Amino acid sequence: MTDARLPLTLILASPRGFCAGVDRAIQIVESALEKFGPPVYVRHEIVHNRFVVEALERKGAVFVEELDEVPEGGKVIFSAHGVPKSVPAEAKARELIYFDATCPLVSKVHIEAGRLHERGLEIILIGHAGHPEVIGTMGQLPDDAVKLVETIADAEAFVPQDADKLAFVTQTTLSVDDTAEIVAALKRRFPNIVAPHKEDICYATTNRQEAVKVIAPRAEAVLVIGAPNSSNSMRLVEVAERAGCTYAALVQRAADIDWAALGTPRTVGLTAGASAPEILVDEVIAAFRERFDVTLEMAETVRESIQFKLPRALASE
């Protein structure tokens, strides 16, 4: 009996999946569980991925929305997205043992915003309203010290207190191209605006978008493994569409693939957002193998080697 499955080339983007900040955040939860035993409380999703969250719940992590859900004497971890200054202040006031899993590249933006504020500059934050990282960054400074700009239209409409005392920072998980257009609009309107010393969009976001730009023009469809509340994952879908792919979709797991919409392509690009584990990539590949005669092709654009250290209190002896 011959195999009647159609041939399909799966082009795997590299880099994809976990970044150093996500890896560190998960290790912080696992190390705290190992050191203290369950329960260890985590304020908000440690990273935006239900598979990761549920795996940590099985190990004894308890996810809460706010600190008032953590009992006296509890151990609590703040998510990788960062938190307003009021959150560690509340934890100290309640004498909770807490660990901050904020990605160091998000912390860099926090520090930068603080320094710009100390210089007397009005700060624009380019980002998405309501995203935990944006809430955390704006919460580093007094109310109204940071103004949010989401679009080019916002940039065109923005009215500063003093056009010569203006600076901007950005969310770390934005579209590189969209952000460049917003920055260009701001610089055209306010030539003296102070830019970050170094690009705020993180290396992992940039690298994953560049990899998608390489695979998307070659693929009839691109699937991005990630969560709908994951900013960097959603941006990868947009990047694939802009790069010329006619069908780009976000899937959380293999079960979410819309096979009818996908049809019978000959080439499919596959990547994963920075908070999606490689096991979900393997799961999607296995699902394709059940339906197609799959050939895997790797498309590596850059090799990542960045690692972030754990907090000293949780580091191995």
From the candidates 54, 90, 133, 220, give the one annotated as an active-site residue: 133
Amino acid (1-letter code) at residue 180: A
Cβ–Cβ < 8 Å for 220, 193: no
Helix-then-strand count for the chain, H and E: 11, 12
**Which secondary-structure segment (H or E) carries 54?**
helix 50-59
90 catalytic residue (yes or no): no
Amino acid (1-letter code) at residue 246: T
Cα end-to-end distance, the chain, whole Å: 59
Q: Of the candidates 216, 228, 215, which has an alpha carbon nearest to the alpha carbon of residue 275?
A: 228
Which token pair is 23? Answer: 């890896």
131: three-class secondary structure by DSSP = coil
CB-based burial of residue 303 (10 Å sphere; 0-12 exposed, 13-18 middle, 19+ buried)?
exposed
Q: 124-140 burial string, b = 16+ CB within 10 Å, else e? A: bbbbeeebbbbbbbbbb
Q: Of the candidates 258, 106, 285, which has an alpha carbon nearest to the alpha carbon of residue 250?
A: 258
CA 294-295-301 angle, 5° bins: 130
**DSSP state for residue 73 in the 8-state scheme:** T
The catalytic site residues sit at 133
